[in-house]
Amino acid sequence: MIVIPQELLPADGRFGSGPAKVRAEALEYLSMRSDLLGTSHRQAPVKQLVGAVQEGLAELYRLPDGHEVVLGNGGASLFWDMAVASLIERRSSHAVFGEFTRKFATAAGKAPFLEPPLVTESAPGTVVLPTPGDADVVAWAHNETSTGAAASVRRIGEGLVLVDGTSAAGGMDVEITETDVYYFAPQKNFSSDGGLFIALVSPAALERAGRLTRGDRWTPEMLNLDVAAANSRKQQTLNTPALATLLLLEDQINWLIELGGLAAAEARCRRSTDHVHAWAGQRDWATPFVAEPAHRSPVVATVDLADEIDATRVIATLRANGIVDVDPYRALGRNQLRIGCYVSVDPEDVKALTACIDHVVERL
Ligand SMILES: *Cc1c(COP(=O)(O)O)cnc(C)c1O
């Protein structure tokens, strides 16, 4: 068993790509507001909390007029099904460059009332954008958390633009006018617990959802974006939300605004990921997985290790020393480390982490 010397260890050993580090200050805020837990989400105090989250996100994202902050239970995965039920009219077009982008394409492919989706695929570690074709929805992810590759966000074609911002949101800046729905779950840069979806929705997407869900198509209530939007306008959710998640989210939004907003958040994340990529470049046993520097995520760094170094042993040794969750995405099946460099993670801790990895690899 390799014991990493205390002075090398990071102050906080959480480097997961999701769920990810929750700041201690956010937990203090949660306990300060604990009188809210166990109270009705139909009453003013919880509605005010939902309203504060909506207003904070509107400020952080410089939300254009007419766009709405819609939220509900179920996380990003729920939102894929909601989009299938409430937003895709006839056919969607997806860019698939990792497992999360694939999941949405797969969900759309299973819907019996839709034509098979167009899928434009590229190898893990690279980036591709959707082919618009005749699709009425185009979809991709701002950051492919499974590979550490980040895409640009800009309008493509005539369809609604749906961007999965789950691991990007709060750590990468974005121009919301380039999207119709920018959606995410809050357990990554937003340093909350999981369970919720948040969607920044354009007037065009709200109109589409209203039209489709009031038409002939059967729409389960939980997958009805029109219903979710109606509840959100009343600072409510269709069913009981996780209040602790909302409180952690509120605290993180305020912290991000104090930090200087999304551009400042992205710069802080880049300090960490730039360090990891430079560090890997200087080791003959490590290589940044995303070959094209412009496609490297500012929030999730993936590093392939040479065959003679077993990543699972490195990961297990780190875990035994209190450094957790640097595992690669399972389905990717690579000899790799994946390091969540979200905004709550101190860039100094990322430097400490790479020093710890050096220490472990030298001794394995
Ligand atoms: C984590 C993640 C998801 C899944 O989020 P859930 O809340 O677990 O459904 C979806 N998309 C991306 C890009 C992610 O990083």
Strand-strand pairing, 92-96 and 118-121: parallel
Pick the CATH number of 25-258 from 3.40.50.720, 3.40.640.10, 3.40.50.300, 3.30.390.10: 3.40.640.10
Non-local CB neighbours of 256 within 8 Å, separated by 6+ positions: 60, 170, 262, 265, 343
Hey, whose CA ends up nearest to atom 7 of ligand 1? 75
Q: Is 206 within 8 Å of 189 (Cβ atoms)? A: no
Of 99, 136, 139, the C-alpha closest to 119 is: 139
Q: Average pLDDT for residues 71-96, to the nearest whole number?
A: 98
How high is the pLDDT of residue 16? 98
% the chain with pLDDT above 70: 100
Please indicate whether residue 185, judged by its CB atom, sits closer than 6 Å to ligand 1. Answer: yes
Domain ranges in the chain are: 13-22+262-362, 25-258
Q: Is 256 within 8 Å of 23 (Cβ atoms)? A: no
Residue 187 to residue 265: CA distance in whole angstroms: 16
The pLDDT-based confidence of 96 (bands split at 50, 70, 90) is very high
Q: Is 285 within 8 Å of 318 (Cβ atoms)? A: no
Tens of pLDDT, residue by residue over 126-185, are 999 999 999 999 999 999 999 999 999 999 999 999 999 999 999 999 999 999 999 999
Q: 18 C-alpha to center of ligand 1: Å?
A: 8
Residue 60 to residue 252: CA distance in whole angstroms: 11
Q: Which residue(s) pair with 162 in the sheet?
A: 139, 181
Please indicate whether residue 166, judged by its CB atom, sits closer than 6 Å to ligand 1. Answer: yes
Q: 93 C-alpha to center of ligand 1: Å?
A: 19
Q: Average pLDDT for residues 258-279, to the nearest whole number?
A: 98
Q: For tokens 């480097």, name the residue.
A: 15
Please indicate whether residue 232, judged by its CB atom, sits closer than 6 Å to ligand 1. Answer: no
First to last CA, the chain: 10
How high is the pLDDT of residue 218? 96
% the chain with pLDDT above 90: 99
Q: 101 C-alpha to center of ligand 1: Å?
A: 10
160 half-sphere exposure, CB direction, 13 A CA radius: 24
CB crowding 40-63: b at 16 or more within 10 Å, else e:
ebeeeebeebbbbbbebbbebbeb
Task: Using CA atoms of 140, 146, 150, 156 in order, give the dihedral in degrees to the nearest 10.
Answer: -10
CATH architecture for segment(s) 13-22+262-362: Alpha-Beta Complex (3.90)
What would the 3-class secondary structure string for 332-361 be?
Answer: HCCCEEEEECCCCCCHHHHHHHHHHHHHHH
How high is the pLDDT of residue 221? 98
Q: Ligand 1: which of 77, 94, 182 to mutate, judged by most atoms within 8 Å of the beta carbon?
A: 77
33 three-class SS: coil
81 three-class SS: helix
Atom of ligand 1 at shortest range from CA of 185? 7
Q: Is 71 within 8 Å of 197 (Cβ atoms)? A: yes
How high is the pLDDT of residue 228? 98
How high is the pLDDT of residue 170? 98
Please indicate whether residue 192, judged by its CB atom, sits closer than 6 Å to ligand 1. Answer: no
Q: Is 138 within 8 Å of 161 (Cβ atoms)? A: yes
Tens of pLDDT, residue by residue over 286-330, are 999 999 999 999 999 999 999 999 999 999 999 999 999 999 999
How high is the pLDDT of residue 7? 98
The DSSP letter of residue 301 is E
Q: 212 C-alpha to center of ligand 1: Å?
A: 25
Tens of pLDDT, residue by residue over 193-245, are 999 999 999 999 999 999 999 999 999 999 999 999 999 999 999 999 999 99
Q: Is 153 within 8 Å of 130 (Cβ atoms)? A: no
How high is the pLDDT of residue 107? 98
Please indicate whether residue 81, judged by its CB atom, sits closer than 6 Å to ligand 1. Answer: no
Q: 75 C-alpha to center of ligand 1: Å?
A: 7
